[in-house]
Structure 1
Amino acid sequence: MKAVFSKIGLALVYLGSLAPWWAIRIDASIFAFWMTYVFRYRRRVVKGNLNRVGAENVSLYKIYRNFSLLALESMKLFTVSKRRAVMQVRFENFELIEELYSKGKSVVLVGGHMANWEIFSVVFPNIVKHKTYAIYKRLNNKVFDIAIKKSRSKTGMEIVEMNELKSLFETGHNEPILCSLVFDQRPRVAKNARWTKFLGVETPFYSGMEKIALRLNAAVVYSAITRDKSGKYTMKFHLVEEEVFKVEEGEVLDKCIGILEDEIVKAPHDWLWTHRRWKHTRPKGVELHDRKFTKFNGWS
């Protein structure tokens, strides 16, 4: 019965994906109003996160509008064409990616849960010379898991589940590859994470991007995403480290956290505040690593 309801839900998602981009922006505003003032969707989680990091003045309506845009635009990706998806995005410092390819250098492309990171999985394989991969965390719902993998890989992006990373390392790559991942999700096991300060609060992080970069001898590039008033997106590339094996453990993560904090301070409503990012507390005996390379300077 669960599978039947899932298939019905998926059919509705496909139907919703046929809405034009302008209608999505209108719908997002309507949904945001209802979530903010009527349903109060995950209000306790959102307010708790904001209070924890000292960002109480961030607009709840704008947070829910960003969430609504992300949800509706992610639905749109099920049926959007490559040509139309490309029209929604632009890139800054793209020559960095091309330069790394010309050096024969693979890339680990990392970013945070800012604005809509999903749309770039459809666009990226069309514009880069690298063979593209996305690190993916399997969904519990099998019907939606299969559908999302299909929609994200339809333009050539290969989806690699987190428990299948070994196969990525063991595969011989004749050409440089680009492996993308979102690095600011909450680790499942707090004691195995790397703990440091994020937005002034003790926070656990996966350290996987450094390990992947070392295994692939890849450069780490940060992708900062912004959304303009027309609903289009810009991805700006920052070189974090070209030779990861030359720096100390944790330096790459530290620098990525610093860039993400700058993004959030500039557009706080565009981060995903609806998730329980600070669910875990640091276990006794687990080290808190100092930020040696970047610092959070507050919300001013």
Structure 2
Amino acid sequence: MQLLVFLLVYPILWCISILPFRLLYFVSDCLYVLVYYIIGYRKKVVRQNLALALPHLSEKERLRVEKESYHHMVDGFLEMIKTMTISDKEINKRFTFTNMELYDEYEAKGKSIAIFCAHYSSYEWLLIMNKHIKFEGFGIYKKIRNKYFDKLVRDIRGKFNATLIDTKETTAVMVSNYKKGIKGVYGFAADQSPKVWKAQHWTKFMGVEVPVHTGAEMLAKRMDMNVLFVKGEKLGRGRYQATFVPMVENPKEVPNYELTDMFFRMVEQQILEKPEYYLWTHKRWKHTKES
């Protein structure tokens, strides 16, 4: 059944991927109407999240953010599909780094690097940084149930020299690399909500106290990695840039959870600047201290 679904869907994805960007965004505009107005995908969740996280905005302002965030989400989904056939020249033109020299300085320090980022702007295209680095790049992701689509995702990201690690394999792979002296760059999109019974730390995120993942911090401490935050920005439709921001160079010396708290303050700053480019459909505030 998995293979049948893949064989039916793959030709559609490939046809979308070869569309010129102008047509791609026309398709996105049509899908936006379907997803937002007709299906209403997770609209209740989005409105609850926006009300909790952005209470300082009026209902009219939150509605604007809501609509623009859906448009951005659909654009991002199609841009991910476009990655199947996009050329290096095209994607390098559309996703740039403002201070790659800072990253190079961190490689020169001779320690593996943990990259903290959020589900903001174009977190999918961030993987092109692997074309510009010397260390081996690893992306932490949640395995897709359909093994054929899972392989497709791995192959797509492999175009950018990125090796994907399933969340269940992360610790074992990182420890193995550390013992072998393999210098790596590990990307963590660490702004998801953990299962509440697994939570080891709570912090305020957009003014609401919630459980947060601490695995990225603990692994950075255990493997003594330098830590960078990536601030993403959307310059226009299909055009993005990213900036590396130093966090810590000696995580073992930082009190537990301080690095995680620092990360969430940085994510908050991004969101407050341009909330429409955050992925509001995920249940970030499903569990709160009050509830």
Matched to 1:204, the amino acid is P
Aligned to 2:159: 154
Which residue identity does 2:37 align to in structure 1? Y
- 1:1-300 alignment, distance < 5 Å: 1-53=1-53, 54=55, 55=57, 56=59, 57-58=61-62, 59=64, 60-121=66-127, 123-165=128-170, 166-171=172-177, 172-174=179-181, 176-282=183-289
Distance in structure 2 (CA, Å) of the matches to 1:94 and 1:261: 23
What is the CA–CA distance in structure 1 between the aligned matches of 2:259 and 2:22, rounded to whole Å?
39
Q: Give the C-alpha shift of residue 162 in structure 1.
A: 1.4
**Residue 36 of structure 1: how far off its partner (Å):** 3.0
C-alpha offsets along residues 218-258 of structure 1, whole Å, 9 cap, x if unaligned? Answer: 11100011111242111011101111011101111111111
Name the structure where helix makes up a greater proportion of residues. Answer: 2
- Give, in whole Å, the separation in 2 of the partners of 1:188 and 1:146: 27
The answer for unaligned runs of 5 or more in structure 1 is 285-300
**CA deviation map 1:193-232 (0-9, x unaligned):** 4211100112221101111212221111000111112421
Structure 2 Cα separation of the partners of residues 47 and 201 of structure 1: 15
Aligned residues: 283
Contact 1:63 1:270 in 2 (8 A): yes
TM-score computed with the length of structure 1 as normaliser: 0.88
Q: Distance in 2 between matches of 1:72 and 1:34?
A: 14
Assess, with a 3 A threshold, how the Cα gap between structure 1 residues 149 and 207 changes in structure 2: closer, same or farther. Answer: same
**Contact persistence 2:222–2:252 (CA under 8 A):** no
Deviates most, 91-100 or 265-274: 91-100
Name the CA distance, whole Å, in 2 between partners of 1:250 and 1:169. Answer: 21
Q: Displacement of 1:189 after TM fit?
A: 4.4
After superposition, the C-alpha distances for 1:18-75 in whole angstroms (9 at most, x for unaligned) are: 1122322333233223333333222111111111222542322201111111110011
Identical-pair percentage: 27
| Coordinate RMSD, CA, aligned | 2.0
Residues 137-174 of structure 1 deviation map (CA, whole Å, 9 limit, x = unaligned): 11222221111111112231111111112122123454
Tell me if structure 2 keeps the 8 A contact 1:191–1:283: no
Kindly indicate whether the alpha-carbon contact (under 8 Å) linking 1:190 and 1:281 is maintained by their aligned counterparts in 2: no
* Shift in CA distance, 234/51, structure 1 to aligned 2, threshold 3 Å: same
TM-superposed CA distance for 1:190, in Å, is 3.8
Give the AA of the match of 1:177: G
TM-score normalised according to structure 2 size:
0.90
Measured against aligned partners, the alpha-carbon deviations of 1:251-285 in whole angstroms (never above 9, x if no partner) come to 1111111110010011101000112222234599x
Which is worse superposed, 271-280 or 104-113?
Answer: 271-280
The answer on whether the counterparts of 2:228 and 2:247 sit within 8 Å (CA) in structure 1 is: yes
